[in-house]
A and B are shown apart, each in its own frame.
Chain A
């Protein structure tokens, strides 16, 4: 059974700092991995999708990497801003076509 762990559970950084969020998963037989952000009381917003054949994917200040063999993905946020404050969730997708979610990293960017 796929288990997903996100470290750290919470992170507080000053504005402008570069930061890395970590995601590890136990079953490396995945088709893709998706990163989301969730604002309090809201739905999930898709940030990046990495296919299993890809090593990384970029969107603006965000860069996600995937090392399938070691069961790890990282989300790099450059030049963080207060508007980046949210919970970040990773979710690998396996053969069942289901996403398995981590418990998330709560990010606070201080102005």
Chain B
């Protein structure tokens, strides 16, 4: 079974802090994705990556950056956390050929 893990289930940070969310997959997938999910807005794509050291902006990249130094790991970075970044963050990985995506358990981030 595909396994996607995220570093924290719940996280509470202060405004202005730098926040790192880590995602690791164990299926050697080329593609990795970061989404945020908010009530009434659904899932929105923040960033994605097709390969190591590659990154592409999604629909809402502002205020975020990413890092993919190894194929299995994709990190989402909030450079200076703000209250409007309070959300559920979901990481996914997928194959290059079919792009079937598999999701991690999510990180509920609260920024105070």
Interface size on B, residues (CB 8 A): 22
Size bracket, chain A contacts:
20 to 34
> Which residues on B sit within 8 Å (CB–CB) of A111?
none
Q: Which residues of B contact A (CB under 8 A)?
A: 4, 31, 40, 42-43, 45, 48, 50, 58, 88, 90, 92, 98-106, 108
Closest to B4 in A: A43
Task: Provide the main secondary structure of the chain B interface.
Answer: strand
The reply to whether A42 and B105 form a contact with Cβ atoms under 8 Å apart is yes
Can you show 6 pairs from A to B with CB atoms below 8 A apart? A41-B106, A46-B103, A91-B101, A98-B58, A99-B99, A101-B42
- Chain A: interface secondary structure? strand
Given the complex, which residues of A lie within 8 Å of B108, measured CB to CB? 41
Q: A97-B99, A98-B58 are in contact. List 7 more A-B contacts (CB 8 A).
A: A36-B103, A44-B90, A46-B101, A51-B98, A91-B101, A99-B45, A102-B42
